[in-house]
Structure 1
Amino acid sequence: MDLRLVRPDGGIVRVPGFFAGDGAGGGRGSVWKVRFTPPAIPGSWSATAILRYGEAINLDTPNSTAGIPVFGRTLRLLVDPPDLGAPGFFARGPIEADGAGRLRHADRSLFVKAGVGSPENFLGYAGFDGAVDGIDGGPPGEFGGAPDFLHEFEAHRGHWRAGDPDWGGGRGRPIIGALNDLADLGANAIYVMPMNLGGDGRDTFPFVSNSGGARFPADPADALNYAVRRLSQWDLVLRHAQARGILVQLVLAEREPTNIDWLGGAMSTRRRLFLKQLAAHFGYLPGLEWTLCEENAAPGASTFAQFTPLELRDMATWIRGWDHLRHPRSVHVDYNDLSLYSAMIASGAANWIDCVSLQISGDEAGTARLYGDLAEDVAGRFLNIGRRVVVHIDEPGYYLTGAGSELHPNAWANAPHAGTEDRRRRVLYDSLFSGAGLLWYFGLYPLEDGGGDLHTEDFRTRATLLRQTTIARELIETTFRDVGQFGAADDLWTSAVAPLHPVYGDAEVLAQVSGPLGGAQRDRVLVYLPALGPSASVSPGRLAPLWSGAPGTRTFRATWINPRTGIEQGPDQFFDPTQAFWPEPPAGAPLNPDVDWVLRVTPL
């Protein structure tokens, strides 16, 4: 069943429907549903629902009229303006790529993605009907650390609140509480695989059966029959994420060849149906990102070249045809490897991509800078063909260590770069102030060491890191709230002694772009200093002139902010933006030069 809508301006919107059993989560029945969120176009809409019958008709293109109609109904819908009192994303509208390298809500408010990339098997949860751990009796995952359990999230049961969704007499409370805790810590995104059969966890799938954990469907029907009740429970969870302001990044394929084999090639019957089903069930959610594959490499560059540039383009086109909110689309790549994006550009198959999704492992024991450098590199490659893509670093850090538990520091005693202090100074600001979004990856720690990725059960194990990430994200969102374009501008700062820190490098600068990058018309600037340099009693460096007007006509304010607490430090400093500015160190700050700071510059 599909729904064909006509907007007040005459535009056509097609929305796929799905079989919904008894309509209340039960698998037996005759109910079909369509989930639709109207774009911000108020007025009178017409809607025609048509149920058709025919062989493989569910795989027809969105505009097809094939098949035999067995039911049809036309109605009028009156769409009101957005409800500003609605929870989370429902008040601000769908998150979209703005064409200028940023994500924005439909109301044009800025969205900087900053959350968690672990556990990737978040939906491998014991509280869902029909949930099965496919590791038992099946082949091992790629890494020996794949867990032999389903998530329970019991540490978060107490974070569930009256009025939150639930099912089964409390079975939904731990996973709903986990989302509440993430939101309370300020995380605004989570990386989720809806199907990992044949991959690492082998515990997440939308089908009725997992074929007993086999490497590929023992019966082809196992990848064609979808679990009504479990999908309705998934919807409760993912809808709650939206209400709490958490974007869901759905990663649609895992890197392992056996995961790819479960659904077949890029445009196989099984994969097209899978993509359409996800669009039908969850495409109405305002905060969603489709990531076509995990760790996809360019053909010939790796044994894990899952999909070619042309296949990715075809998959992206297929899912866009069923996605009425036109959510951002991306593809994730392997460690420090930009070859897929280069191949997409070279083959002319890059025009569909809205976001790039990077996996970066810097020189974790050496001098930092790689995160921002790669983010700016890939943005530049797409800018050369006239596209301003959104850049996300969705898996930072060495895969074994990532960001370690703050409650179990002995687990990473031999890898101190996994601690919060290092992640903030090496990764967080290098990434965000390069213009990228960021999802923290939690390494491969066992449960007794605080859990990592597939073993993650308690988000409070990284609470300080998530709070400090929120400080950085909110600094960007508030400083550049009304700014059309902004980006990395490290050339605006010259350190008194460079680099400011022997390990964490030099300053990172994020600045407004007015006209060509480098033009002297910048009203808003953020400068991250990984240290104050060799002395905390003299200016750490010089900010270049920001404005090209006549001297003495404007005044700018400079404010020091503690990146560990978000608290402003010392009195504001004022300067003429047509002149170079040497800020004084934070007044009253500890006289320790090996401490990081943020300088915020705004006009009076």
Structure 2
Amino acid sequence: MRQILILFTLLLVLCSGRGQTMQSVKIHGEQKVWHKITLLIDGPETAEFAKDNPFLNYRLVVTFSNGNKRYKVPGFYCADGDAAETSAEEGNKWMVRFRPDEVGIWDYSISFRKGKDIAVSSHLHIGKPVGPDGFKGSFVIVDSDKKAPDFRGTGRLEYVGKRYLKFAGRDSFFIKNGADSPENFLAFVDFDQTYRYGTNEMWREGEANPKEECHYYSSHVKDWKKGDPIWKESNGKGIIGVVNYLASKDVNSIYMLLLNVQGDGNDVWPWIDYNERYRFDCSKLDQWEIVFDHMEKQGIMLHLVLQETENECLLDIGQTGVQRKLYYREMVARFAHHLAITWNLGEENGPAHWTPIGQTDQQRKSMAAYLKHINPYSSFIVLHTHWNDSIQDKYLLPLVGFEALDGPSMQIGEVGKIHRRIRHFIQLSSNSEKQWVVNLDELGPAYKGIMPDEFDANHDTVRHYALWGSLMAGAGGAEWYFGYKYPHNDLECEDLRSRDLWWNQTRIATEFFSRYLHFSEMESADEIIDNKEAYCLAKQDEVYVVYLPKGNIPTRIELDSSGKDYSIHWYDPRHGGKLQTGTVSSFRSPGKMNIGFPPIEKEKDWVALVRVKQ
């Protein structure tokens, strides 16, 4: 009945003349909740290189409304509207990408104006109207037909003031299991104008070809499937194959720099030239969008890192001025519609002894505030840290409780400190005005990280201290960095299967949390167990999880509730599978209770699940 009413309403809209009637505005996309709706607009004829900069001196904003819902969505210049295929640099096409979050009629109104630096101006009525300025229209949205893991079936991932991100379209929370390497994921040879900068001007036959230093992902071409996206007839199979492979391992996030000019890779930037700061490469960014769309369908979050420590003062000398505002606006206009995004203000942000010129606390706050301000959707904003405690504290403590920052993106150089440091910042923020989502996004030491399976098939140390250590502290999830001294490292990884056994272990951990726990209601509670090497996560009087690095160490848990009966089961963090029964199957509270031992391989690590009997 609901669908019939919506279709009837649509007929009334079209018959009343409120539907699309101007050839200059065309609507593309499946008109369903959470799906991408694109307005392709005929506007001024111009070019990426035009003297009158189309990115800076034009401002396209479309306001979408449905009842009490209202979104002001920035648009962008897109050359001929098909630049991913044509590599066009000029044309009269402009675009807005929108994600409706309700069924029913959505009205839209176009503001399209021209003026000096108008794109970064907050004044609504300056400049002169151009193109279809003032045009209004409507379209009708129906329910989505997609299912998880496709984010169009779960809704936008949002920060909701808790330790985990939540799906807007369902009553469930998200635990991140991501790939942190290669950080220059987007330095892919099939993207237009992509190469390792530094030798391209001087390259001669017999010298290093900067294209050969890009990613090819050749080993993942076999993971591309018929019907998957490509561009220019055959481009893109390698990087789409990477996405497919990671999705098959239940990896749900990919960390990627959008800008590493003067940084480690020196091979990723959004502009039409390495040295440009005000003009954007329409075809390259549209090709990125093809990959991002596919990631979304596969249930993989975009972790978009806006800069790195070597270039944090590249734009506006670290300030949030015209260059940075324009950069943020373009990235938001093109990509913020995606349903799962981490916006990372910068890798290893802030001065360190090896990068003494860096941003200040006020500059960090200005970046975060501006990014929140221009983003029409619920944006999750984090800041990546340096690896050691003292610098982390120096830069993070002034940000605790700051309204525009949703959490730290933690780099922790010593695996033995991971559990303690994550717990530290969760507790600090919980006592402030804003609870942070704290993620482990890089583990050290830098030369090591997660080693390839051929060097560390069991991954015992990182499974204990990094994987379970972070999750049992209450982390929102983790991403996994590949150390620089090993093959397929953080800059040069071509084959993500180099850590295939590790992805199995991360899936085992996240499956346990998703299948057996209401983890968003639980907190770290190490103090109620007497094994100092173990971790405990608890929802008081209901469920307790104890991770034991060695199952043969006697462990007691202190329960306060009187007269409740508890069951004890064991989970194998190395192989997964069903819950198992150990030497103790149940006990009654209160008091300090011995949880017993796992059924087999007691010298290995195990997870005990203690629950109130129903």
Q: TM-score, normalised by structure 2?
A: 0.82
Given that 1:5 and 1:14 are in contact with CA atoms closer than 8 Å, whether structure 2 keeps it comes out as yes
Separation (CA, whole Å) in 2 of partners of 1:392 and 1:348:
15
What do residues 21-62 of structure 1 show as CA deviations (whole Å, max 9, x unaligned)?
1111242321111111123x333322112221111111112x
What residue in structure 2 maps to residue 583 of structure 1?
595
- Is 1:177 the counterpart of 2:229? The answer is no
C-alpha deviation, 1:93, in angstroms? 0.9
**Alpha-carbon distance in 2 for matches of 1:431, 1:356:** 13
Supply the distance in 2 between the matched residues of 1:109 and 1:270 (Cα, whole angstroms).
38
Which of 273, 281, 286 is residue 339 of structure 2 equivalent to? 286
Could you tell me which amino acid in structure 2 is paired with residue 130 of structure 1? Answer: Q
How far apart are residue 388 of structure 1 and its match? 1.0
Contact persistence 2:62–2:75 (CA under 8 A): no
What is aligned with 2:513?
476
Task: Give the superposition deviation at 1:531.
Answer: 0.5
Choose from 422, 438, 457 the match for 2:494: 457
- Shift in alpha-carbon separation, 1:577–1:281, aligned structure 2, 3 A: farther
- Tell me if structure 1 keeps the 8 A contact 2:368–2:404: yes
CA spacing shift, 1:200–1:135, aligned 2, 3 Å:
farther
CA distance in 2, matches of 1:185, 1:263: 41
Shift of 1:7: 3.3
Q: Could you say which residue in structure 2 is the equivalent of 1:230?
A: 284
Match of 1:60 in 2: 121
Residue in 2 that maps onto 1:351: 403
Equivalent residues in 2 for 1:400-419 (5 A)?
A: 400-407=447-454, 409=455
1:351 Cα deviation (Å)? 2.1
Go from structure 1 to structure 2 and tell me whether the alpha carbon gap of 1:522 and 1:402 turns closer, same or farther (over 3 Å shift). Answer: same
The equivalent of 1:201 in structure 2 is: 265
CA contact (8 A) 1:5 1:45 kept: no
Mapped partners of 1:475, 1:531: distance in 2: 19
Tell me the residue number matched to 2:138: 76
Instruction: Tell me the amino acid that sits aligned with residue 133 of structure 1.
Output: R
Which residue of structure 2 aligns with residue 543 of structure 1?
557
- Residue of 308, 315, 322 corresponding to 1:254: 308
Return the alpha-carbon distance in structure 2 between the equivalents of residues 300 and 157 of structure 1.
40
What do the CA deviations read for 1:36-92 (whole angstroms, capped 9, x no partner)? Answer: 1123x333322112221111111112x622211112221123333444537611111
TM-aligned CA distance change 1:349 to 1:372, over 3 Å: closer
Counterparts of 1:288 and 1:202 in 2: how far apart (Å)? Answer: 23
| Deviation of the 1:344 alpha carbon | 5.8
- Which residue, out of 535, 557, 576, partners 1:508? 535
After TM superposition, the structure 1 = structure 2 runs for residues 351-390 of structure 1, keeping only pairs within 5 Å, are 351-362=403-414, 368=416, 370-390=417-437
CA offset at residue 391 of structure 1? 0.4
Question: Are residues 1:561 and 2:571 paired?
Answer: yes
| SS of residue paired to 1:114 | strand
Supply the distance in 1 between the matched residues of 2:257 and 2:279 (Cα, whole angstroms): 18
Structure 1 residue 92 and structure 2 residue 154: aligned?
yes
The CA deviation string for residues 94-146 of structure 1, in whole angstroms up to 9 with x for no partner, is 1111202211111231101121110000000001122121142689xxxxxx9
Distance between the aligned counterparts of 2:390 and 2:402, measured in 1? 13
CA distance, structure 1, for counterparts of residue 348 and residue 392 of structure 2: 10
Question: Amino acid of the residue matched to residue 491 of structure 1?
Answer: E
Kindly state the Cα deviation for residue 226 of structure 1 after the two structures are TM-superposed.
0.9
| Mapping of residues 62-211 of structure 1, within 5 Å | 64-70=124-130, 71-72=132-133, 73-85=135-147, 88-106=150-168, 107-136=170-199, 149-210=213-274
**2:294 corresponds to which residue?**
240
CA shift for structure 1 position 255: 0.5
Give the corresponding residue for 1:43.
Answer: 104
Aligned partner of 1:424 in structure 2 is 463
Q: Partner residue of 1:311?
A: 363
Q: C-alpha distance in 1, partners of 2:450/2:79?
A: 42
Structure 1 CA distance for aligned equivalents of residues 545 and 248 of structure 2: 25
Is 2:446 the partner of 1:399?
yes
Query: How many residues are matched?
Result: 538
Once residues 125 and 401 of structure 1 are traced to their aligned partners in structure 2, the CA distance between those partners, rounded to angstroms, is: 24
Query: Quick one: distance in 2 between partners of 1:31 and 1:198?
Result: 32
CA deviations over 1:468-518 (Å, ceiling 9, x no partner): 11111121223334x6532211122223xxx5xxxxxx1111222xxxxxx
**2:586 corresponds to which residue?**
574
| Superposition CA RMSD, Å | 2.6
- 1:270 matches 2:323: yes
Tell me which residue corresponds to 2:375.
323
Distance 2:400 2:425 in 1: 16
Match of 1:296 among 342, 345, 349: 349
Q: Which runs of 5+ in 1 are unaligned?
A: 140-145, 211-216, 410-415, 500-505, 513-520, 535-539
For structure 2, which runs of at least 5 residues remain unmatched after alignment? Answer: 1-58, 203-209
Q: Distance in 1 between matches of 2:566 and 2:129?
A: 66
User: Please, what TM-score do these two structures have when normalized by structure 1?
Assistant: 0.83
Query: Counterpart of 2:268 in structure 1: which amino acid?
Result: T
Partners of 1:138 and 1:114 in 2: CA distance: 40
Q: Secondary structure at the match of 1:223?
A: coil
1:374 is paired with a residue of what secondary structure? helix
